[in-house]
């Protein structure tokens, strides 16, 4: 029987351990931990969170060293001690790591700080840093670091590409899947502290008592990991499940219903985080159905929660009854409400004004609502970037947004830092959680950036790759640049030079710039590219839709003139002729062709790089990535060739001389 097992079964890797593999160390890093017996201790043992920190350290260290780790201090041992009520450290999860040749102490003000410190220590050790060289303090930059699951209670995940939902509502509350603990570990290891468990397109019945008991079981399991649960709440719930004739936020019976609902949830989950609400957006109900404003709706729910929780109100709104530029609608609806939202309301704003495209300029609402708590919403799941089969490391995209100067005296990161960041999760029931090994990096990167938005994409990629695959410098020096260029490759072969929303309708996977017959104009790709025989692009200047004027004057000025606009934003803000001269010296048409080709070439280069890295990666995961890169190489060509053929059908032009012929 044993002979039937594959010979490499012991080394098989299915990606389940994510970045928490804690692979065996070698060299100086190993020596520092093995010269003497190793012990991990804390005076606060017995606290659930401290116990998790201790268990994580003991398990991680024993994996990395191949030795047992003692649970009590013994003479002559290298001691790793957790001091979790140190008065000089801040609350909120801060910690300090102080290593020496004798061991290391993690200092924190509270157990959660010790847990974060333990994960940070494991991260450093797993990258090969010797124990005695570890010494620094760290604290989260943002109070709220959340995942938003677009998981439906029936197990289907909207825009999810990694299998079914990880939440097993059928068997809760009695049965808690081990995945729920492993998920909490992964999140806590990168500082995630809030989870919305259900889709923004919410079903009201998730608020019923039968689901509250299930949610309470999850809340109990995640509490020691510092994670609070939140629910997406359907605005019409008082009508849908409450038996009321209306959901008007100013109706006293509606207000009483939400208050009673909040009380009921808090009786079961004392630290319930609050509600996430998608209202009057894409057909969802909301206060405008009753002639009320977003502030009326949000404040009513905020009053029901009181100081126990937060209403997170989404700004992703655009309407079929509004024929102005979709880009301008959220700003137009929300900015006049600045200052009207209750203190426990947060307005959650997508990174850009359209919808999670491969590249969008930052949303003009950032910086424009100084009296409202704004939070950034990013999408970890790759709805418009090739799902889980295309390799695109998203940290550079988020870094681009976070670093953007809003022109209102702050970067986007500075605007949202007092509040937080939410990421639309990419997890599912696949063994590797995210549908592909490299998509795990996006989950990791989101958490790390929410913890510290000043971290560079390069640092994050290096940390992740070292923990996930191999800490060999030759591997990292090759895989990190590959990751850093991967998102730009997707931009180039899908939507170069500021083009957007050219994905096929509904599923958003392949190219369909030719689609122009959908009932709602703003769902048509042709709405966004506006190509004809003369030119291409969306004029958002004062000659066009004026959406550019929603940016602060200094920012609007950078993008006002096609001659001086950075080519990456050109067709986002301008409509130009096919002959428009580009900074490269090429015409716009030649430049477009060049960008599509660059995108395809970059994918081929990624495949070649990855092939060379086979010696550093276990066969199972190496092959899985190789096969995805083969899909991506085919589909990059599909995008380029279909897009160019369509543009040629519109502009009647030949491909510039020297263009490689289609596959
Ligand atoms: C996108 C996505 C929808 C989602 C929506 C939202 O439009 O395609 O599935 O519901 O964003 O963020 O609300």
Alpha carbon of 416 to ligand 1 centroid (Å): 22
On whether the CB atoms of residues 145 and 192 are closer than 8 A, the answer is yes
Protein residue with least CA distance to atom 10, ligand 1 = 201
pLDDT tens for 154-183 read 999 999 999 999 999 999 999 999 999 999
pLDDT above 60 for 4? no
Alpha carbon of 158 to ligand 1 centroid (Å): 8
Give the DSSP H or E segment for 477. Answer: helix 473-494
Q: Strand, helix or coil at 314? A: strand
Residue at token pair 């092939």: 611
Counting from 1 in the atom list of ligand 1, the atom nearest the Cα of 200 is 13
Counting from 1 in the atom list of ligand 1, the atom nearest the Cα of 350 is 12
On whether the CB atoms of residues 209 and 250 are closer than 8 A, the answer is no
C-alpha separations of 137 from 117, 118, 309 in Å = 9, 12, 29
Work out the pLDDT band at 660, boundaries 50, 70, 90.
low
pLDDT tens for 621-640 read 999 999 999 999 999 999 99
Longest dimension (CA), the chain: 82
pLDDT tens for 454-504 read 999 999 999 999 999 999 999 999 999 999 999 999 999 999 999 999 999
Token digits for 578? 């096919």
pLDDT above 80 for 41? yes
What is the per-residue DSSP string for 165-217?
-S--TTTTTT---HHHHHHHHHHHHTT--EEE-S-SS--GGGGSHHHHHHHHH
pLDDT tens for 178-199 read 999 999 999 999 999 999 999 9
Task: For the chain, give percent helix, strand, coil, nearest 5.
Answer: 45, 10, 45
Alpha carbon of 44 to ligand 1 centroid (Å): 45
Protein residue with least CA distance to atom 7, ligand 1 = 355
Candidate from 277, 383, 385, 422 with most ligand 1 atoms within 8 A of CB, to mutate: 383
Residues near ligand 1 (Cβ within 6 A): 158-159, 200-201, 278, 282, 316, 355, 383
pLDDT above 50 for 8? no
Q: The complex's ipTM?
A: 0.99
Alpha carbon of 440 to ligand 1 centroid (Å): 21
Name the residue among 152, 150, 272 with its Cα closest to residue 220: 272
Distance, CA of 135 to CA of 465 (rounded, Å): 22
pLDDT tens for 572-585 read 999 999 999 999 99
What spatial distance separates the first Cα and last Cα of the chain, rounded to whole Å?
Answer: 47
pLDDT above 80 for 7? no
Counting from 1 in the atom list of ligand 1, the atom nearest the Cα of 159 is 9
pLDDT tens for 267-288 read 999 999 999 999 999 999 999 9
Protein residue with least CA distance to atom 1, ligand 1 = 355
Which residues fall within 8 angstroms of residue 75, CB to CB, at 6 or more apart?
Answer: none
Residue at token pair 């655009």: 318
Alpha-carbon radius of gyration of the chain: 26
Nearest 10 degrees: Cα torsion 555, 556, 559, 563: -120
**pLDDT for res 255:** 98
Domains and CATH numbers, the chain: 16-138 (3.30.379.10), 144-468 (3.20.20.80), 493-651 (3.90.1330.10)
Which residues fall within 8 angstroms of residue 473, CB to CB, at 6 or more apart?
Answer: none
Counting from 1 in the atom list of ligand 1, the atom nearest the Cα of 201 is 10
Work out the pLDDT band at 659, boundaries 50, 70, 90.
confident
The pair phi, psi for residue 312, each rounded to 5°, is -105, 110
- DSSP-derived letter for residue 625 is H
Considering the entire predicted model, what is its pTM? 0.97
Q: What percent of the chain clears pLDDT 90, i.e. is strictly above it?
A: 96
b/e map 41-78, b = 16+ CB within 10 Å: bbebeebebbbbbbebbbebbebbbeeebbeeeeeebb
Candidate from 148, 149, 152, 159 with most ligand 1 atoms within 8 A of CB, to mutate: 159
Alpha carbon of 488 to ligand 1 centroid (Å): 23
Distance, CA of 433 to CA of 25 (rounded, Å): 25
Alpha carbon of 176 to ligand 1 centroid (Å): 29
Name the residue among 85, 87, 99 with its Cα closest to residue 42: 85
Counting from 1 in the atom list of ligand 1, the atom nearest the Cα of 278 is 13
Work out the pLDDT band at 2, boundaries 50, 70, 90.
very low
Alpha carbon of 572 to ligand 1 centroid (Å): 20
**Given the DSSP bridges, would you call strands 38-42 and 345-350 parallel, antiparallel or unpaired?**
unpaired
**Given the DSSP bridges, would you call strands 103-107 and 78-83 parallel, antiparallel or unpaired?**
parallel
Active site (catalytic) residues: 282, 355, 383
Candidate from 282, 318, 352 with most ligand 1 atoms within 8 A of CB, to mutate: 282
Alpha-helical runs (H) found in 23-85: 27-34, 48-65
Counting from 1 in the atom list of ligand 1, the atom nearest the Cα of 379 is 12
Alpha carbon of 407 to ligand 1 centroid (Å): 28
**pLDDT for res 321:** 86
On whether the CB atoms of residues 289 and 247 are closer than 8 A, the answer is yes
**pLDDT for res 584:** 97
Give the DSSP H or E segment for 596. Answer: helix 588-612
On whether the CB atoms of residues 215 and 197 are closer than 8 A, the answer is yes
pLDDT tens for 82-109 read 999 999 999 999 999 999 989 999 999 9
Protein residue with least CA distance to atom 11, ligand 1 = 355
On whether the CB atoms of residues 44 and 86 are closer than 8 A, the answer is no
Candidate from 157, 198, 200 with most ligand 1 atoms within 8 A of CB, to mutate: 200
Instruction: Output the 3-class SS for 122-148.
Output: HHHHHCCCCHHHCEEEECCCCCEEEEE
């Amino acid at each position: 029987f044993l002979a039937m097992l594959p010979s490499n079964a012991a080394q098989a890797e299915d990606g389940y351990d994510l970045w928490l593999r804690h692979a065996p160390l070698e060299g100086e890093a190993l020596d520092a931990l093995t010269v003497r017996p190793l012990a991990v201790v804390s005076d606060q043992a017995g606290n659930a969170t401290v116990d998790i920190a201790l268990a994580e350290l003991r398990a991680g260290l024993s994996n990395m060293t191949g030795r047992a780790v003692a649970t009590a201090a013994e003479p002559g041992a290298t001691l790793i001690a957790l001091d979790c009520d140190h008065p000089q450290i801040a609350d909120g999860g801060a910690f300090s790591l102080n290593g020496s040749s004798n061991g290391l102490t993690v200092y924190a003000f509270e157990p959660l700080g010790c847990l974060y410190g333990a994960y940070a220590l494991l991260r450093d050790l797993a990258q090969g840093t010797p124990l005695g060289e570890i010494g620094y303090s760290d604290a989260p930059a943002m109070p709220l670091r959340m995942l938003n699951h677009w998981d439906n209670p029936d197990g289907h995940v909207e825009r999810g590409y990694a299998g079914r939902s990880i939440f097993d509502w059928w068997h809760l509350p009695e049965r808690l899947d081990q995945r729920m603990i492993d998920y909490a570990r992964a999140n806590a290891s990168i500082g995630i502290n809030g989870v919305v468990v259900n889709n923004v397109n919410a079903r009201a019945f998730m608020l019923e008592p039968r689901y509250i008991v299930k949610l309470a079981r999850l809340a109990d399991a995640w509490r020691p990991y510092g994670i609070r649960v939140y629910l997406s709440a359907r605005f019409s719930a008082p009508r849908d499940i409450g038996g009321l004739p209306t959901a008007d936020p100013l109706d006293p019976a509606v207000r009483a219903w939400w208050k009673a609902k909040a009380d009921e949830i808090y009786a079961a989950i004392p630290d319930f985080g609050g509600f996430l609400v998608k209202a009057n957006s894409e057909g969802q109900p909301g206060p405008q159905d009753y002639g009320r404003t977003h502030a009326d709706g949000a404040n009513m729910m905020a009053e029901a929660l009181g100081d126990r929780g937060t209403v997170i109100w989404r700004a992703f709104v655009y309407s079929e009854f509004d024929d102005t530029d979709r880009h301008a609608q959220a700003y137009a609806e929300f900015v006049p409400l600045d200052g009207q939202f209750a203190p426990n309301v947060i307005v959650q704003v997508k990174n850009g004004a359209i919808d999670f495209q491969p590249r969008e300029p930052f949303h003009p609402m950032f910086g424009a609502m100084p009296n409202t708590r704004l939070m950034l919403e990013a999408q970890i799941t790759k709805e418009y970037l090739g799902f889980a089969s295309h390799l695109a490391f998203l940290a550079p995209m988020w870094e681009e947004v976070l670093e953007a100067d809003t022109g209102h005296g702050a970067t986007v990161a500075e605007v949202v830092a007092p509040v937080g960041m939410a990421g639309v999760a990419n997890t599912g029931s696949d063994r590797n959680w995210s549908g592909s090994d490299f998509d795990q990096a996006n989950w990791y990167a989101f958490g790390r950036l929410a913890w510290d938005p000043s971290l560079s994409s390069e640092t994050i990629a290096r940390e992740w790759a070292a923990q996930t695959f191999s800490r060999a410098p030759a591997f990292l020096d090759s895989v990190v640049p590959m990751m850093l260029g991967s998102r730009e490759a997707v931009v180039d072969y899908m939507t170069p030079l500021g083009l957007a929303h050219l994905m096929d309708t509904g599923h958003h996977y392949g190219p369909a710039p030719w689609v122009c017959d959908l009932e709602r104009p703003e769902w048509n790709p042709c709405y966004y590219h506006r190509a004809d025989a003369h030119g291409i692009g969306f004029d958002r200047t004062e000659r066009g839709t004026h959406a550019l004027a929603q940016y602060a004057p200094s920012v609007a000025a950078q993008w006002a003139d096609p001659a001086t606009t950075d080519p990456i934003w050109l067709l986002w803000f301008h409509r130009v002729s096919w002959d428009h001269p580009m900074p490269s010296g090429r015409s716009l048409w030649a430049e477009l062709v060049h960008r599509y080709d660059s995108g395809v070439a970059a994918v081929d280069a990624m495949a070649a790089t990855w092939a060379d890295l086979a010696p550093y990666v276990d066969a199972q995961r190496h092959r899985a990535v190789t096969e995805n890169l083969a899909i991506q190489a085919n589909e990059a060509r599909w995008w380029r060739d279909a897009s160019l053929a369509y543009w040629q059908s519109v502009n009647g032009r030949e491909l510039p001389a020297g263009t490689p012929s289609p596959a």
